[in-house]
Structure 1
Amino acid sequence: MHPQPPRRSTHVTNSPLSRLVYDRWGEYGRPVLLLHGLLFDRTMWWPVAAELAGDCTVIAPDLPGHGQCPLRADYSLERIAADLAGLVNGLQLHRAPIVVGHGTGAWLAIAFADAYATHCLLTLDEPTGDLPGTVDDVVAAAGLAAVPEHYRPFAEPRRDPALLAAYAGWKAQPPTRRLVVAGPASGPSGPARDSAFAHLSDPEGFAARLRALL
């Protein structure tokens, strides 16, 4: 008889000025930090985290102003990366995390890896230029059509124009990439390319890909 995988638990960091709401699966093993992009929230990672549960400690935070995380004054990449580093260190797992960023969360993942100990960095659907100018443009560029119907509830964007203004400073990508990004596997015709929302198109396969990086 196999033990049940760890259940999801929700936590809040206790700093009033840099509060983060996050979900956690597991108590031991290497931490895996899953970062959503602009207008989305931590629920987009629930299917993958459920697959990974038991193999590592999975952490999926809401970024400021998203999901259940409150607004704040400083939305800079450096400040949020520092808060995430404090969150990971507070777990006291004594292992560098795997950091995964989706969409604009890829820029945050890169900024984290530039500044803090990181075992591996993985980015998905990273924007190639400036952010689109309107909420509708951001949603259209996200590629939601690739998400299977039964996973659509995990990719519901928050259509709040104020978030575009708050995160306007993210238009410039981080200046360096200290850690090489772990891209998709190569095939006979060369490097593979992830489809949009690859983690929701095939959560089991994506979890297996992360498990191989542990």
Structure 2
Amino acid sequence: MLPQPPRRTTHAYGTPRNRLIYDRWGRFGRPVVLLHGLRYDRTMWWPVAAELGSSCAAVAVDLPGHGDSAPREDLSGLAQDLALLVRGLDLHRAPVLVTHGESVVLARTFAERYAVQQMITLDAGTAADAGAIPGAYRQFAVRRNDLTLPEAYREWSGIRVGAAPQAPVAGRGFPHLRDPAAFAALVHDAV
């Protein structure tokens, strides 16, 4: 299947100091919050989010310092900011959290404090995993080499992604880019 045409809207939440930029597909249904790993951005979720948008409210968020979101020195309020963003969607349902790589740390913190339908994690993967992505989707798996990010996210480093017992691991690397329609079906099963 070829990549879907963009059917997204882009939004900003927060003040200039804690602004989070996110894309949204779909207006109704269970919210599905897509969180990228370190050195990626929300664009890594575009193919699967386009598949999800017909029956869910898919939201791909740029974490602080990634993509278009403002960098932060203190990430302690990030789970609360994410909860306020989800509440602002006015969907009145607990979200499904889909995490890639180190963003499982944020998802765990969120799940400890707020209602969550399900949490699905993806390992960060390797260059070999990225090589298995079909050519049309490789542009969504580009890692940015921003040298300031490791320091800002030092508390997130060294986390074993598959260690969360409540979070089934959906696969290594980029299964959402190897087959976006199949991955969207996996997420639908969690809804």
TM-score when scaled to structure 1? 0.79
Q: Paired residue for 2:86?
A: 88
Structure 2 runs not aligned, ≥5 long: none
Alpha-carbon distance in structure 2 between the residues aligned to 1:164 and 1:147: 26
Superposed counterparts of 1:52-131, under 5 Å = 52-76=52-76, 79-125=77-123
SS at match of 2:65: coil
Name which one, 1 or 2, has greater alpha-carbon Rg. Answer: 1
Q: Does 1:160 align with 2:137?
A: no
Superposed counterparts of 1:31-70, under 5 Å = 31-70=31-70
CA root-mean-square deviation: 2.4
Cα contact 1:25–1:57 (8 A) shared by 2? yes
SS at match of 1:96: coil
TM-score when scaled to structure 2? 0.87
SS at match of 2:148: helix
Identity %: 50
Alpha-carbon distance in structure 1 between the residues aligned to 2:149 and 2:127: 16
Cα contact 2:32–2:57 (8 A) shared by 1? yes
Cα contact 2:21–2:68 (8 A) shared by 1? yes
Q: Paired residue for 1:203?
A: 180
SS at match of 2:24: strand
Equivalent residue letter for 1:83 = D
Structure 1 runs not aligned, ≥5 long: 128-139, 185-193
Runs (4 or more) in structure 1 with deviation over 4 Å come to none
The Cα shift of 1:141 comes to 6.5
Q: How many residues align?
A: 185
Q: Paired residue for 1:181?
A: 167
